[in-house]
Structure 1
Amino acid sequence: MDAVVIGAGPNGLVAANALADAGWDVLVLEAQDTIGGAVRSAEVIAPGYVTDLFSAFYPLAAASPVIRDLHLEEHGLVWRHAPSVVGHAFPDGRAAVLHRTVEDTAAGLDADHPGDGDAWVELHRQWTAVRGPLLDALFTPFPPVRAMLSVLRTQRAAGLLDLTRLGLTPVRRLGSENFGGDGGPALLAGNAMHSDLPPDGAGSGFFGWLLCMLGQDVGFPVPEGGAGVLADSLRRRAEARGAQFRTSSPVTSVTVRGGRAVGVEIAGGGSVRARRAVVADVVAPALYGDLLPRDSLPAGLLRDLDRFEWDGGTIKVNWALDAPVPWRAPGLAGAGTVHLGVDNDGLLEAAKDIALGRVPEHPFLLFGQMTTADPSRSPAGTESAWAYTHVPSGLEWQPDALARHVDRMRTSVEEVAPGFADHLVGEHVQSPALLEEWDANLVGGAINGGTSGLHQQLVLRPTPGLGRPETPIEGLFLASASAHPGGGVHGACGWNAARAALATQRTGRRLRRALVGTAWERVLRDPRSPR
């Protein structure tokens, strides 16, 4: 084989496609018995009810030039949209709704507080001014020189400073600066909470603004038939170009000879040789801590890994309902995604509890109405739904503690949708441990491959270095969400790793050593590092 890809999650699947497009012989090894990683679906509650087991809505995939240029519609992918994108349910029965058009969203916010509609339009204007180059900058290896030059060309000095400030502002402050009512801040903060950044954390404003504007731009689409259809379309495309797949084949180690990755060992005694590259869709601590011999790595890197920070854990509950969700606020009936459980102040309290290692008594929930977005997900007149909530990392969830928290989640839904429990056909709970069991990259239920905090982003992801997919091992490339640009189903981590592998072959081993090796030596230089 020219290349072995470890892991058939979305990044591994994208990497396989990129390498196969270049004419390489590619083998993808997946530990689970199905492909997809955190992009899978199944009927786990009742016949006819399709549940997305992990990720569900895909604004980043819809906006990603990487995914778009693969033309997955030719391989079975069909995007579906709910009537509206996102809603935020307030405990008092009100709701804020992000509609499919900026005009409708602005009108709703303005009805709640005059002037807030204009503020939303202004945030959207900032987005449209930088959309193309900003997305290129987000989804390309660091440093994104060409994309940033394009941003500079489109923005005057004042505009660039405003954009920089927006990128660093906590979402709580961003909301209070721009809006007088509750709706705009709730939409921004709720979307920021898709990451592990607290509402008063630096950079959370950027995450909230980005997801809101993507929702306004491309919506929060879902694959018709279930999340697994997205993964299947990626597999079919790769196979059409010659890539091969083996499931139930966990990789136990990467073989290193003379400082170069030359293959992998598989559980049960098998091995595969890789003539050109090993691409690892594996979280950084597992790659460097479990799959590689320690004496092959610089001591500085190993020390930095001791400081690697996971994002928080996750508890996900899946439901089958015999009727639509009975929301108190009618505007939520058409929203594919609903944020609920707390108001703007409650978001901050829940985040503080998690930061202090406490399970929130009043959790913030992300709630998905999958049949509302895609009628194929359950029988007519019913709903396939789920909710997930962040919890502190590292907790041991005993059955009674897990049951209590699931009760809190169910109660939170019932408060804004009275009678919800009366329509339940069945329930299925995914604890942090179960999430990790079904996808080893979701360590302790962490869904972003490591914190989204600024101290572990860009050149600091996964450790202080280049912010690129190259590793200290020649021929080995990091393709998981632990690499820049991080979590989310956008394929950029896999694409960047594959392109780096291809570039290595084009420029030659000697040039790569001169460019990349020197950078690693500058960052990780340590007299105790192996030579």
Structure 2
Amino acid sequence: MTTEVVDAVVIGAGPNGLVAANVLADAGWDVLVLEATSEPGGAVRTAELVRPGFRSDLCSAFYPLGAASPVLADLDLELHGLRWRHAPAVLAHVLPDDRAAVLHRDPEATAASLAAFAPADGKAWLTEFERWRRIRTELLSALLRPFPPVRAGTRLLRRLGTADALRMARLLTLPARTLGEESFQGEGARVLLAGNALHTDLGPDHAGSGVFGWLLCMLGQDVGFPVPEGGAGMLTLALVRRLTSLGGRIVCDSPVSQVIVGGGRALGVRTADGGLVRARRAVLADVPAPILYHQLVGAEHLPSRLLTDLERFHWDHATVKVDWAVSGPVPWTATDVRGAGTVHLGGDMDALVKYGSDLSRSRVPDTPFMLLGQMGVADSTRSPAGTETVWAYTHVPRGERWDAARRERYADRVQAVIERHAPGFGDLVLGRHVAGPPDLEAHNPSLVDGAINAGTAAIHQELIFRPTPGLARADTPVDRLYLAGASAHPGGAVHGAPGANAARAALARAGLAGGAYAAAIRLGHRAVYGAG
């Protein structure tokens, strides 16, 4: 059997794997990406899922962190066909009485929407956005670059000063409901924060949820919630075009069954059909941490403490997603919702708290909170003129059985929520497609049981605790093996940081100081996991 030899093998052609491959190819490395499914993209793909001519994003759809990411900006993907498109309004949160808090890229417009709930909140919102503008560059660099963010952290501390840095550190720990109550008087601003926090698996009362809501709200003001023209798959296509232009290769329908380890070092991979690929310099894995360590590496090559920590790895919630082809615009009762690319549905703050509590108790919520996208509002190429492509997703507990009949019943419940705020929506539906947790995992094996963020965003599994207590770096206890997926710091969303961080770690290991780098990493791992 012939063994192929390359500088680096990347396992998985999701966005993080493709970013990692591009960074390595920029350095002149010979890179091979092996993808288990029939096409690249992972959770960033588009297809005519419901009806011909209606292009649906199979998983992720809008990308505030992608648009703001210094990692993706460095790749100049616009030169390879990526075009961002924006809806007239960024996001609307619809309350039970059909009032809506609307987030705009124009801060003054957002402030006016929120002042309708409480006059003082307009000024308070502008104060928050001014704080964001003051620290934006340093904060994003600290969040998305390798941990610890020494340079970015130093610049951020210098810009904030000690007193404000302590207050910022406190914000990182606050629940979204507490942050909203401390910062605003009216329900509009408070539900914007809580609803955006629910883009993670954290409820409004969970510690650390506030910063996620705050970050997404501020990004919405800053860069919007843009979508790629033509579908999410165009972001993947731009990454693929860039990689192949540099000589990188992608092979689909080629699942990896084993990372080959010898002498404590990753030597290459074995594919499911028995093929061997030797990696001269590195193996990078864009897969969830439990899959990498348990299935691809094996316990015999790993410290016992890491294996024990992996038993405590917490996944994020499962997901149910519904896509519709619609014969016309969604007939929202609240007219200012019609121009929003993203819509939050599912109630006021009490309902959001109950939804989060139901999930925490492993109960399927009676009234689902949902994120809804009306894609034609931002990008008219998604469906024939006068029609609309709509999707919504909501979280459900892990471990439930979701056969076809149950998925359809829950989709009926989701659609009923839309109908309450957009009477006549059901009459416009030309067709729909429902994906439960097993369907999402079948589409992308990294979405284990429908978990879309490769692990909880809770504070006990972030920073130095992601994916397990350790160094919060891409390096693993196996030399020249790097975790490049969303289980690694800084976690989920499409921004490319885990892939770029893994690629930079591989480049540092292979550099002139590679021996010293490897020795330092080994010392760090020994301190965390012990000598065994």
* Counterpart position of 1:466: 471
SS at match of 1:263: strand
* Counterpart position of 2:69: 64
- Given that 1:341 and 1:413 are in contact with CA atoms closer than 8 Å, whether structure 2 keeps it comes out as no
- Given that 2:408 and 2:434 are in contact with CA atoms closer than 8 Å, whether structure 1 keeps it comes out as no
SS at match of 1:5: strand
* Counterpart position of 2:396: 391
SS at match of 1:180: coil
| Mapping for residues 77-476 of structure 1, pairs under 5 Å | 77-476=82-481
Distance in 1 (CA, whole Å) between partners of 2:113 and 2:97 is 17
Distance in 1 (CA, whole Å) between partners of 2:180 and 2:226 is 25
Report the AA paired with residue 501 of structure 1.
Answer: A
Report the AA paired with residue 24 of structure 1.
Answer: W
- Given that 2:62 and 2:225 are in contact with CA atoms closer than 8 Å, whether structure 1 keeps it comes out as yes
* Counterpart position of 2:49: 44
- Given that 1:90 and 1:416 are in contact with CA atoms closer than 8 Å, whether structure 2 keeps it comes out as no
Q: Per-residue deviation at 1:403?
A: 2.3
Report the AA paired with residue 266 of structure 2.
Answer: A
Residue of 71, 74, 79 corresponding to 1:74: 79
Distance in 2 (CA, whole Å) between partners of 1:31 and 1:76 is 25
Distance in 1 (CA, whole Å) between partners of 2:289 and 2:160 is 36
Distance in 1 (CA, whole Å) between partners of 2:399 and 2:90 is 33
Q: CA RMSD in A?
A: 0.9
Distance in 2 (CA, whole Å) between partners of 1:509 and 1:326 is 60
- Given that 1:321 and 1:384 are in contact with CA atoms closer than 8 Å, whether structure 2 keeps it comes out as yes
Q: Which runs of 4+ in 1 moved over 4 A?
A: none
- Given that 1:485 and 1:492 are in contact with CA atoms closer than 8 Å, whether structure 2 keeps it comes out as yes
- Given that 2:343 and 2:371 are in contact with CA atoms closer than 8 Å, whether structure 1 keeps it comes out as yes
Distance in 2 (CA, whole Å) between partners of 1:339 and 1:507 is 51
* Counterpart position of 2:24: 19
- Given that 1:255 and 1:265 are in contact with CA atoms closer than 8 Å, whether structure 2 keeps it comes out as yes
Distance in 1 (CA, whole Å) between partners of 2:441 and 2:151 is 38
* Counterpart position of 2:3: none
Q: Per-residue deviation at 1:181?
A: 1.4
Distance in 1 (CA, whole Å) between partners of 2:346 and 2:410 is 13
Report the AA paired with residue 317 of structure 2.
Answer: G
Q: Per-residue deviation at 1:509?
A: 4.5
Where structure 2 has 5 or more consecutive residues not aligned to the other structure, the ranges are: 1-5
Distance in 2 (CA, whole Å) between partners of 1:250 and 1:505 is 26
Distance in 1 (CA, whole Å) between partners of 2:362 and 2:113 is 37
Deviations, residues 61-89 of structure 1 (Å, cap 9, x unaligned): 00000001111011010000000000001
Distance in 1 (CA, whole Å) between partners of 2:8 and 2:116 is 57
Q: Per-residue deviation at 1:512?
A: 2.7
How many residue pairs are counted as aligned between the two chains? 527
Distance in 1 (CA, whole Å) between partners of 2:514 and 2:381 is 50
SS at match of 2:267: strand
Deviations, residues 338-388 of structure 1 (Å, cap 9, x unaligned): 000221110000010011010000110100011111000011111100000
Distance in 2 (CA, whole Å) between partners of 1:374 and 1:402 is 29
Deviations, residues 6-28 of structure 1 (Å, cap 9, x unaligned): 00000000000000000000000
SS at match of 1:276: strand
Distance in 2 (CA, whole Å) between partners of 1:330 and 1:293 is 56
Distance in 2 (CA, whole Å) between partners of 1:492 and 1:156 is 27
Distance in 2 (CA, whole Å) between partners of 1:498 and 1:375 is 36
Q: Per-residue deviation at 1:507?
A: 4.1
- Given that 2:20 and 2:502 are in contact with CA atoms closer than 8 Å, whether structure 1 keeps it comes out as yes
Report the AA paired with residue 220 of structure 2.
Answer: G
Q: Per-residue deviation at 1:112?
A: 2.5
1:519 to 2:524 alignment: yes
Report the AA paired with residue 461 of structure 1.
Answer: R
Distance in 2 (CA, whole Å) between partners of 1:144 and 1:509 is 21
Distance in 2 (CA, whole Å) between partners of 1:192 and 1:112 is 20
Distance in 2 (CA, whole Å) between partners of 1:81 and 1:311 is 29
Q: Per-residue deviation at 1:93?
A: 1.3
- Given that 1:323 and 1:423 are in contact with CA atoms closer than 8 Å, whether structure 2 keeps it comes out as yes
SS at match of 2:172: helix
Q: Per-residue deviation at 1:511?
A: 1.2
SS at match of 2:119: coil
Q: Per-residue deviation at 1:508?
A: 4.3
Deviations, residues 288-319 of structure 1 (Å, cap 9, x unaligned): 00001321110110110000000000000000
Where structure 1 has 5 or more consecutive residues not aligned to the other structure, the ranges are: none
- Given that 2:509 and 2:518 are in contact with CA atoms closer than 8 Å, whether structure 1 keeps it comes out as no
Distance in 1 (CA, whole Å) between partners of 2:518 and 2:245 is 34
Distance in 1 (CA, whole Å) between partners of 2:246 and 2:255 is 24
Q: Per-residue deviation at 1:487?
A: 0.2
TM norm structure 1: 0.98
